[in-house]
Copies of this chain bind each other. A is one copy, B any other.
Amino acid sequence: MAEQDKVILHGMWASPYAKRVELALNFKGIPYEYVEEDLRNKSDLLLKYNPVHKKVPVLVHNGKAIAESMVILEYIDETWKDGPKLLPSDSYKRAQARFWCHFIQDQLMESTFLVVKTDGEAQQKAIDHVYEKLKVLEDGMKTYLGEGNAIISGVENNFGILDIVFCALYGAYKAHEEVIGLKFIVPEKFPVLFSWLMAIAEVEAVKIATPPHEKTVGILQLFRLSALKSSSATE
């Protein structure tokens, strides 16, 4: 890395979108300064750097701002070419990795949040939807990752963009279980996804980005209670 490289990440510690960037920077060994944003009172810098969406994450590299986590991950991989890659080198495998990242982004992110934010019938509906989509992902990953030891060695040798996007969403599985009393990645239903998640949890870049369990439980509870409260106020 050139001497003059200055990298700043504007994030929020519990955001799965910001977590993607944090994981990518850790994994590639890129030194960076971290700015924690208060999302109820966003900094002027965040609003200046991301006027369109006004959201974290924003990566600022030598004064130039890049927003949107998936765009940032591609930027990181293309800018820091030394060391481990986030995307496979083969263009067909890159396409498959991007396809499944899109799938998680479009089909699973919002509906997984919805499970945390609802209860009763609405929650059951959201759970059914998430399980249906996870089944599609399970079948896809059976082909993409293989099964059994192939998964573990795949994660060890080819950790990258898809592992990051999956684990930024489901890495907090213990907190999910404690707060909403259910597992998303049920081992009996989704054995491939479960082995995958367990293998990812052993990666050093992931370990150092994992906040203390109690802290994650606390914010998830807050997020859930505030969503339930505002939904009952509007019903």
Chain A residues packing against B (C-beta within 8 Å): 52, 61, 64, 66-68, 70-72, 74-75, 78-79, 91-92, 94-95, 98-99, 102-103, 136, 140
Question: CB < 8 Å: which of B71, B91, B103 contacts A98?
Answer: B71
Instruction: List, in ascending order, chain B residues with CB within 8 A of A79's CB.
Output: 91
User: How far apart are the CA atoms of A91 and B66 in the complex, in Å?
Assistant: 11
What are 16 A-B contacts defined by CB distance under 8 Å? Answer: A52-B99, A52-B103, A66-B95, A66-B99, A67-B99, A70-B98, A71-B95, A71-B98, A71-B99, A72-B95, A74-B98, A75-B91, A75-B92, A75-B94, A78-B91, A79-B91
Which residues of the partner chain B approach A136 to less than 8 Å between Cβ atoms?
Answer: 52
Copies in the complex: 2
Q: Shortest CB–CB separation between residue A103 and chain B, in angstroms? A: 7
A19–B68 alpha-carbon span in the complex (Å): 25
A165 to B129 CA separation, bound complex (whole angstroms): 30
User: Judging by beta carbons under 8 Å apart, are B103 and A70 in contact?
Assistant: no
Q: A98-B74, A103-B52 are in contact. Are A92 and B66 (CB under 8 A)?
A: yes
A92 and B64 contacting across the interface, CB-CB below 8 Å:
yes
Q: Is the CB of A74 within 8 A of B99?
A: no
Contact present for B74 and A95 (CB under 8 Å): yes
Minimum distance in angstroms from A190 CB to a CB of chain B? 16
Given contacts A52-B103, A52-B136, A140-B52, contact A95 B75 (CB under 8 A): yes
- Among residues of B, the one whose C-beta sits closest to the C-beta of A59 is B95
Query: Which residues of B sit under 8 angstroms from A95, Cβ to Cβ?
Result: 66, 71-72, 74-75
Report, nearest first, the 3 A-B pairs whose CB atoms are least far apart.
Answer: A78-B91, A75-B95, A71-B98
CB distance from A231 to the nearest CB of B (A): 23
Give complex CA distance A102, B92 in Å: 21
A67, A72, A75 interface centre (most CB from chain B within 10 Å) = A75
Q: How far is the CA of A143 from the CA of B99 in the complex (A)?
A: 30
A55 to nearest B CB, angstroms? 12
Q: Chain B residues with Cβ under 8 A from A64's Cβ?
A: 92
Nearest residue (CB) in B for A61 is: B92
- Complex CA gap A98/B75 in Å reads 10
Q: How far is the CB of A133 from chain B (nearest CB, A)?
A: 10
For A102, the chain B residues whose CB sits under 8 A away are: 68, 70-71
